[in-house]
Amino acid sequence: MSKKYITTAIDYPNAAPHMGHVLEKVLADVCARWFRLSGHDTRFQIGTDEHGVKNQRTAAKEGISPKELVDRNVPLFKDLYDKLNISYDYFVRTTDQDVHFPTVIELWKKLKDSGMLEKRNYTALYCSGCERFMTNKDLVDGKCPDHQKAPEEVTEENWFFLLSKDSKWLKKLLTDKNGYTIVPKFRQQETLSLIEQGLEDISFSRPKSSLDWGVPVPDDDNQTMYVWCDALTNYISPLGYLTDKEDKTYWDDAEVTHVIGKDIARFHALYWPSMLKNAGVKTPDKLLVHGFLTSEGQKMSKSLGNVVVPSEVIDKYGIDPLRFYLSHEVPVGRDGDFSWDRMQKMYDSKLRNDIGNLLNRVLVLVGKDGGKINVPEETEIIGDTWKKYAEKMNSFELSEALQIVCSLVSDCNAYIDKKKPWGLEIEDREKVLGVLSECLRHIGLMLLPFVPDTAEIISIQLGVSYADKLQNKGFSLEGINLWGSDKSWCAAGKPEILFEDLEK
């Protein structure tokens, strides 16, 4: 059983979570659940990035301390993810002085010892929205494109991380077959072209006078660490890395995948592996870069008033329909769009009509014959669906994998229409319904990473033997995803409507 460790970016809690946060967590959760189902010992971590000037300023505006601000806002994130059934194993907070700080401080010391940190005087443009220095290349009409304002010119003493020294090594790491794989491929090309353009050293600290809310730089009382060494280190600090609590199980011995948004791809593709290598730590294996979510075809922004609030979608449709939408409508790596109209259409067609009706039609007919389940050898409909599905899941093509499940559902609906089991002799009818019930059992398993509660309800209604264990972290597909492999399954449960008609 090989080990997997999957992480998301840590969220910046200076405002409530939005759909972009949800998209990333659902995506990573689908992967984590798939890893566990396919038999991997998996660790899944999410968390919050709580330091920095933005939180310091937001807190000051509200007349509270930064700590009070984050303590108030972090539960907004955690509660939403719990509600969304995000099956994380650990929630890291970068203000955790016991869990997070020791590794951050040790990592800094290692980098200093390796000669990769240097103190310099620095004058540059700084965007407080992005919390980073910007070059003219980053600006559009003299303004930060993300925050629509001109950056401030700042001169100060900073510690610098000498990233430029690692250009060659990074190029090799990102192109080596056993190096650091970026998914999708075009993001790898983007990163390589950044290296071609020449990497600049990065400002790694700020004077305490301008940034106080952060991890103090060891042996330099006047400096606070910048976001990089603090935030990126969240992936290893809960493992106790570089401290006497060190447990390398889910780092050195695991395949490590970081799931992040395209806006922070270069920090994860370049800064982070270089930091690790210079501290003598193994580099991660995979970087899965997702796109952004637009709203009705437009960039989501407060000024446009088109921000989709996750809880509004959940209140109207429920958890699983939202998870289904994000998995189905947003191809991994590309930008996606949220539209209320498409949400409604998807709910009605894919969930209510296709999946919901299939389950109900089959179970009502099975019930009329006494509820007995008898799975025949006939595997014509399912064919090599599992193989195709697993290939897509393993290469992070989640939306394609979900479409494969939807095709199986359509094939089953076509089969029932063609065979018209209600008009058949009992023996033939039992055979047709046995095929359909078994297909539904597999559909439930394939849907499990995407819509875990729905998968569980399908399995309960079918009456399969393992329905109550389905959402346990130790549950795996081994032995149950072959045709007819649930030997103790002999009777169907009670059919109930899976997705209500919301128009009624």
**Could you list the residues that contact Zn ion (CB under 5 A)?**
127, 129-130, 144, 146-147
User: What is residue 123's three-state secondary structure?
Assistant: strand
DSSP result, 10-26: PB-TTS---HHHHHHHH
* 3-class SS of residue 155: strand
The full DSSP string for 420-469 is: -GGGS-HHHHHHHHHHHHHHHHHHHHHHTTT-HHHHHHHHHHHT-TTGGG
Minimum distance, C-beta of residue 133 to Zn ion, in the bound complex (Å) = 11
Amino acid occupying residue 81: Y
Which lies closer to Zn ion via its Cβ, residue 75 or residue 145? 145
Of residues 11 and 456, the one with the C-beta less far from Zn ion: 11
Residue 8 CA, chain-centre distance (Å), reads 5
Q: Which is nearer to Zn ion, 130 or 381 (CB)?
A: 130
**Cα 87 from Cα 203, distance rounded (Å):** 35
Q: Is 31 a catalytic residue?
A: no
Minimum CB distance to Zn ion, residue 145 (Å): 8
Q: Which is nearer to Zn ion, 64 or 150 (CB)?
A: 150
Query: Is 127 designated active site?
Result: yes
Shortest approach of Zn ion to residue 152 CB, angstroms? 11
For Zn ion, the closer of residues 151 and 184 by Cβ is 151
| Nearby residues of 279 by Cβ (< 8 Å), 6 or more positions away | 107, 110, 111, 114, 242
Residue-by-residue DSSP string for 489-504? --B------SS--TT-
Shortest separation between residue 58's beta carbon and Zn ion, angstroms: 15
Q: How big is the chain by its Cα radius of gyration, in Å?
A: 25
Smallest gap from residue 189 Cβ to Zn ion (A): 25
Annotated active-site residue 147? The verdict is: yes
Whole-number minimum distance, CB 240 to Zn ion, in Å? Answer: 34
Our CB check for Zn ion shows the closer of 147 and 494 to be 147
Element (H, E) at 186: helix 185-197
* CA dist., res. 158 & res. 206, Å (int): 5
Under a CB-based contact definition with an 8 Å cutoff, are residues 33 and 448 in contact?
yes
- Of the pair 130, 192, the CB lying nearest Zn ion is at 130
Nearest to 363 by CA among 499, 494, 500, 501: 494
Cα separation, 414 vs 67, whole angstroms: 58
Are 61 and 14 spatial neighbours (Cβ–Cβ below 8 Å)? no
Peptide bond into 376 cis (omega under 30): no
Q: Residue 406 catalytic?
A: no
> Treating both helix axes as pointing N-terminal to C-terminal, what angle do 452-462 and 357-368 enclose, rounded to 10 degrees?
10
CB 433 within 8 A of CB 462: no
Pairing state between β 286-290 and 181-183 = parallel
> At closest approach, how far in Å is the CB of 93 from Zn ion?
24
CB of 164 to Zn ion, least distance (A): 23
**Four-point Cα dihedral 420, 422, 427, 428, nearest 10:** 0
What does each C-alpha distance from 496 to 25, 372, 481 come to in angstroms?
Answer: 30, 17, 24
Whether 418 is a known active-site residue: answer no
- Smallest gap, in angstroms, from Cβ of residue 125 to Zn ion? 10
Nearer to Zn ion, 146 or 335 (CB): 146
3-state secondary structure of 391: helix
In whole angstroms, what is the distance from residue 434 CA to residue 491 CA?
Answer: 11
Catalytic residue among 172, 185, 299, 487: 299
Q: For the CB of residue 128, give the shortest distance to Zn ion in the complex, in Å.
A: 8
Q: Catalytic pick from 18, 119, 143, 277?
A: 18
Angle CA 463–465–467, to nearest 5: 70
Active site residue 130: yes
Active-site hit among 127, 229, 406, 412 = 127
Taking the least distance from each CB to Zn ion, the nearer of 37 and 53 is: 53
Scanning the structure block, which residue is given the tokens 């995948």? 257
Return the number of the residue (145 or 280) whose C-beta is nearest Zn ion: 145
Q: What does the block give as tokens for 139? A: 């600006």
Active site residue 172: no
Catalytic residue among 40, 54, 100, 144: 144
Q: Is 328 among the residues known to form the active site?
A: no
Please list the active-site residues: 18, 21, 127, 130, 144, 147, 299, 302
